[in-house]
Amino acid sequence: METDSTDHAILSLLQAESRADFTHDEIAERIDVSSSTVNNRIQRLEAEGVLKKFDPVIDYETAGAPHHILFVCTAPIVERKALCKDAIEVPNVVNTRELLTGSQNLHVEAVGMTAEDIEAVTEDLDALGLEINGSESLRTEYSRPFDHFGSEVVDESASE
């Protein structure tokens, strides 16, 4: 899909201000177009599959689930893609990522209320045929907009 600087500015702002109450009007003011143009562009980006969804970011610890673990696993190359999809079905698993490498090619993120929840995840992953190379406690995580878009933003608001 062809995306121009207006699209990039919108995507960047959406990532920078990922609030539920971030309105089209506010985007429109910051990039100096009308709010109907913002609406047009967002709808097109969604239709074309660039803007896929809006994921709620949950602080599991505050919500009462203190265990947050990353498993680094190895899946046989040919089964890797299938196992990535299978692993997301394991209870307490919240994210899986497929890498390109030969070993340690699957990352599985899990959340649990208790240590037993996490222990059960290791058993389930093992039962799927995944070799678990390591498990790490996740501490902090930061996200931010894709810069290539951000650098093109014409932000008219001086007070930032």
Partner DNA sequence: GTTGAAAGCATATTCGG
Partner DNA sequence: CCGAATATGCTTTCAAC
3 vs 74 by CB, closer to DNA: 3
Name the token pair of 94: 């919240």
DSSP string, 79-91: GHHHHHHHHTTST
78 binds, among DNA, a copy of itself, none (CB under 5 to 8 A by kind): none
The nearest distance, CB 45 to a copy of itself, in angstroms, is 8
51 binds, among DNA, a copy of itself, none (CB under 5 to 8 A by kind): a copy of itself
Sign, CA torsion 53/108/92/88: positive
- Position 65 contacts a copy of itself (CB under 8 A): yes
- Position 24 contacts DNA (CB under 7 A): yes
End-to-end CA distance of the chain: 31
- Position 6 contacts DNA (CB under 7 A): yes
The nearest distance, CB 18 to DNA, in angstroms, is 13
- Position 17 contacts DNA (CB under 7 A): no
Backbone φ and ψ for 81, nearest 5 degrees, come out as -60, -45
Q: Looking only at residues 28 through 47 of this chain, which bind a copy of itself when binding is defined by CB under 8 A?
A: 46
The nearest distance, CB 30 to DNA, in angstroms, is 13
The nearest distance, CB 111 to a copy of itself, in angstroms, is 5
